[in-house]
Amino acid sequence: MSHRAVSLLSKCSSTLTNAQIRGKAHFTFQPSTTLPAGLQGQETSKMNLMQSVNEAMRIAMETDDSAVLFGEDVAFGGVFRCSLDLQKKFGKERVFNTPLCEQGIAGFGIGVAAAGATAIAEIQFGDYIFPAYDQLVNEAAKFRYRSGNQFDCGKLTVRTTWGAVGHGALYHSQSPEANFTHTPGLKLVVPRGPIQAKGLLLSCIRDPNPCIFFEPKILYRLASEDVPTGDYTIPLGQAETVRQGKDLTLVAWGTQVHVALEAAQLAKEKLNADVEVIDLQTIQPWDEDHVVESVQKTGRLIVTHEAPISSGFGAEIASTVQKRCFLNLESPIERVAGFDTPFPHVHEPFYLPTIHRVFDAIKKSVNY
């Protein structure tokens, strides 16, 4: 462990109680300063991420009579309250609980979608999506291909939680997105805040392909933005530059975008380096051209994600950019990620790719 990390943890421990450390976020949420294209001037309402997800599902069910929502405990609102009042509004035939069986939830969703209805399936925690892995990878992803496009389950969207929560440890803080990127036929999305969550979730629900929508659980109540109240979508497969820069490209998604933004600001203050920050938004298919164009401008790339570094999706981005931008690169591509261990509890501050770990990578890259 670096002296910097030990020093930071020691300083933190001297000023905060154990309870405060346990519940303290390792970043500051950065609200979006602009609305997506075409939404400027629209009426907005202050919403946290939980409320924006609820709003997206309400709109989807109002505009599509075939849409049904199901999962463990969704009838009373779910453990995170994302489906609050939806059964009251749409009835027990459209919003209902399932047995505690992730494989069954995914399998049922595939059947619902294959029959022509719109299925919104909730897996309560992303960490428990693995029992459903066989259904999602061997059935949902291949349904269209193996039938020669005669049948599909493209109206299936699987919602699940994602990422560190501050005290979730090994079974409630994992980031499993890379496990699914090796499977053609699935689309994977991770929003960074309420505005993106609403638009991207509506896009997933209406997309003609099965989608997995990962919701950063720590942002459910921490993140708050002025969200457009109307029906809108944000295109899948498109990244967004959330901070302009000329010296280095920093790519992230979900919660880690906010870590990246803080690290970029620190780099500006300490190193006078202009760091461009890109929110990938859709992990599969990812916006390769957007990232490549940025790296061709800056000559440097860092990818940061919470998931373990080995076989994390950052490796795919690094490989692609190295091939397409080889003659543009001024320093080696760097990945700042979780370590190759189970997600720890008491050692979470050491495990996470924090602002200071990202800043150290920026410093190393610009001084190469």
Domains of the chain by range and CATH? 44-228 (3.40.50.970), 240-367 (3.40.50.920)
Other C-beta atoms closer than 10 Å to the C-beta of 40 total 9
pLDDT at 349: 86
Predicted pLDDT at 37: 87
Place of tokens 């924090």: 354
pLDDT, tens digit only, all 368 positions of the chain: 444 444 444 444 444 444 444 446 789 999 998 899 889 889 999 999 999 999 999 999 999 999 999 999 999 999 999 999 999 999 999 999 999 999 999 999 999 999 999 999 999 999 999 999 999 999 999 999 999 999 999 999 999 999 998 888 888 999 999 999 999 999 999 999 999 999 999 999 999 999 999 999 999 999 999 999 999 999 999 999 999 999 999 999 999 999 999 999 999 999 999 999 999 999 999 999 999 999 999 999 999 999 999 999 999 999 999 999 999 999 999 999 999 999 998 888 899 999 999 999 999 999 99
pLDDT at 24: 64
Give the whole-angstrom CA distance, residue 160 versus residue 86.
17
For the entire predicted model, the pTM comes to 0.92
- Candidates 55, 102, 177, 262; catalytic one: 102
Verify whether residue 348 is a known catalytic residue. no
pLDDT at position 168 is 83
| pLDDT score at 20 | 41
The pLDDT value given to residue 166: 81
Annotation marks residue 215 as catalytic: no
State both tokens at 255.
Answer: 């919660």
Q: Are 195 and 30 in contact (CB under 8 A)?
A: no
Model pLDDT, residue 170: 87
Q: Are 160 and 197 in contact (CB under 8 A)?
A: no
Catalytic pick among 172, 258, 305, 356: 172
Confidence at residue 169, expressed as pLDDT on a 0 to 100 scale: 87
- HEC assignment per residue over the chain: CCHHHHHHHHHHHHHCCHHHHHHCCCCCCCCCCCCCCCCCCCCEEEEEHHHHHHHHHHHHHHHCCCCEEEECCHHHCCCCCCCCCHHHHHCCCCEEECCCCHHHHHHHHHHHHHCCCCEEEEECCHHHCHHHHHHHHHHHCCHHHHCCCCCCCCCEEEEEEECCCCCCHHHCCCCCHHHHCCCCCCEEECCCCHHHHHHHHHHHHHCCCCEEEEEECCHHHHCEEEEECCCCCCCCCCCEEEECCCCEEEEECCCHHHHHHHHHHHHHHHHCCCEEEEECCEEECCCHHHHHHHHHHHCCEEEEEEEECCCCHHHHHHHHHHHHCCCCCCCCCEEEEECCCCCCCCCHHHHCCCHHHHHHHHHHHHCC
Dist. CA 262–CA 355, nearest whole Å? 6
